[in-house]
Structure 1
Amino acid sequence: MEQYQEEKETECQLQVTPLMQIEQADKKRIPRILLVDDDSAALSALSHTFRLRMHDIEVDTSISALDALALITIKEYDAVISDIKMPDMDGMQLLSALHKTMPEMPVLLITGHGEHKLAMQALREGAYDYTLKPIDRDFLVASVRRALQTRQLSRLVQEKQQALEQYAHSLQSLVEQRTRELIIIMNDAKDRMLTMAAHELTTPLTSLKGLLQSAHCRLKQGAIDKAMRDMETMETSVNHLGILMQNLRDAIHIQTRQFILQRSPYDLIKLCQDVLDEFTMAGIVTQCDSPQHESLEVDIDSCRIRQALFNLLSNACKYSLKGSPITVTLQQCENEVSLAVSDCGAGISPEHLSHICEQFYRFPHSNLQEGDATGLGLGLYITRAIAEQHGGRMEVQSCPEEGSTFSIMLPILTNEIKVSHKPITDTSLWQIMWMVKVMKSDYLFS
Structure 2
Amino acid sequence: MILIVDDTPENLISLKKVLEKYDFEVDTASSGEEALKKVLKNSYVLIILDVQMPGMDGFEVAEAISGYSKAKETAIIFLSAANTEFKFIAKGYSSGGLDYITKPVDMNILLLKVQTFYRIYEQSRKLNEMQKTLLEEIEFRKEAERKKDEFISIASHELKTPLTSVKGYVQLLERSINKGDTDTIRKHLGKAQVQLEKLNSLIADLLDISKIESGKLKFNKQDFSLDQLLDNVIEVMHQSNPEFKINKKGYAKCDIYGDEMRIEQVIINFLTNAMKYSPGTDEINLTVNVKDNELYLAVKDSGIGMSPEQQKNVFEKFYRVEETSQRFQGLGIGLYIASEIIKRHGGQIGVNSSYGEGSEFYFIMPTNLSTEV
The TM-score normalised by the length of structure 2 is 0.62
CA deviation after TM superposition for structure 1 residue 400, in Å: 4.0
CA deviation after TM superposition for structure 1 residue 211, in Å: 0.7
Tell me, yes or no, if the aligned pair for 1:394 and 1:409 is still in contact at 8 Å. yes
Quickly say closer, same or farther: Cα 1:29–1:189, change in 2 above 3 A. closer
Aligned to 1:23: 24
Tell me, yes or no, if the aligned pair for 2:317 and 2:333 is still in contact at 8 Å. yes
1:403 aligns with 2:361: no
CA deviation after TM superposition for structure 1 residue 166, in Å: 4.2
Aligned to 2:334: 379
Q: Secondary structure at the match of 2:24?
A: helix
CA deviation after TM superposition for structure 1 residue 339, in Å: 0.8
- After superposing the two structures, state which structure 1 stretch, 167-176 or 312-321, moved more: 167-176
User: In structure 1, which of residues 342, 345, 354 is the aligned counterpart of residue 303 of structure 2?
Assistant: 345
1:276 aligns with 2:240: no
Q: Secondary structure at the match of 1:348?
A: coil
Tell me, yes or no, if the aligned pair for 1:270 and 1:295 is still in contact at 8 Å. no
Tell me, yes or no, if the aligned pair for 1:357 and 1:380 is still in contact at 8 Å. yes
Aligned to 1:390: 345
Aligned to 2:185: 227
Q: Secondary structure at the match of 1:262?
A: coil
CA deviation after TM superposition for structure 1 residue 162, in Å: 5.7
1:194 aligns with 2:152: yes
1:209 aligns with 2:167: yes
The one-letter code of the counterpart of 1:411 is P
Give CA-to-partner distance per residue, 1:349-370, whole Å, 9 cap, x none: 44533333233333466699xx
User: In structure 1, which of residues 328, 345, 369 is the aligned counterpart of residue 286 of structure 2?
Assistant: 328
The one-letter code of the counterpart of 1:393 is Q
Quickly say closer, same or farther: Cα 1:161–1:412, change in 2 above 3 A. farther
Aligned to 2:91: none
Q: Secondary structure at the match of 2:25?
A: helix
Tell me, yes or no, if the aligned pair for 2:224 and 2:256 is still in contact at 8 Å. yes
Aligned to 1:316: 274
Distance, in Å, in 1 between the alignment partners of 2:312 and 2:251 is 36
Quickly say closer, same or farther: Cα 1:181–1:326, change in 2 above 3 A. same
Distance, in Å, in 1 between the alignment partners of 2:261 and 2:119 is 55
> Structure 2: which 5+ runs fail to align?
1-21, 29-45, 49-99
Matches within 5 A, 1:81-92: none
Distance, in Å, in 1 between the alignment partners of 2:352 and 2:174 is 49
Tell me, yes or no, if the aligned pair for 1:269 and 1:294 is still in contact at 8 Å. yes
The one-letter code of the counterpart of 2:149 is D
Distance, in Å, in 1 between the alignment partners of 2:261 and 2:298 is 17
Distance, in Å, in 2 between the alignment partners of 1:158 and 1:271 is 71
Q: Secondary structure at the match of 1:330?
A: strand
The one-letter code of the counterpart of 2:261 is C
Aligned to 2:64: none
Aligned to 2:318: 360
CA deviation after TM superposition for structure 1 residue 381, in Å: 2.2
Aligned to 1:297: 255
Aligned to 1:58: none
Aligned to 1:38: none
The one-letter code of the counterpart of 2:164 is T
Quickly say closer, same or farther: Cα 1:402–1:167, change in 2 above 3 A. closer
Tell me, yes or no, if the aligned pair for 1:362 and 1:374 is still in contact at 8 Å. no
CA deviation after TM superposition for structure 1 residue 192, in Å: 0.5
The one-letter code of the counterpart of 1:183 is R
Tell me, yes or no, if the aligned pair for 2:221 and 2:260 is still in contact at 8 Å. yes
CA deviation after TM superposition for structure 1 residue 301, in Å: 2.0
CA deviation after TM superposition for structure 1 residue 197, in Å: 0.9
CA deviation after TM superposition for structure 1 residue 334, in Å: 2.4
Quickly say closer, same or farther: Cα 1:258–1:179, change in 2 above 3 A. farther
Give CA-to-partner distance per residue, 1:392-421, whole Å, 9 cap, x none: 2222222344322111111346x98xxxxx
Q: Once the two structures are aligned, what percentage of the paired residues are identical? A: 27
Tell me, yes or no, if the aligned pair for 1:319 and 1:367 is still in contact at 8 Å. no
Aligned residues: 280
The one-letter code of the counterpart of 2:353 is S
> Structure 1: which 5+ runs fail to align?
1-20, 31-72, 80-104, 106-150, 417-446
CA deviation after TM superposition for structure 1 residue 246, in Å: 1.9
Quickly say closer, same or farther: Cα 1:157–1:392, change in 2 above 3 A. farther
CA deviation after TM superposition for structure 1 residue 300, in Å: 1.6
- RMSD between aligned alpha carbons? 3.9
Distance, in Å, in 1 between the alignment partners of 2:198 and 2:275 is 15
Distance, in Å, in 2 between the alignment partners of 1:232 and 1:29 is 82
Determine which structure has more spread, i.e. the larger CA radius of gyration.
1
Q: Secondary structure at the match of 1:347?
A: coil
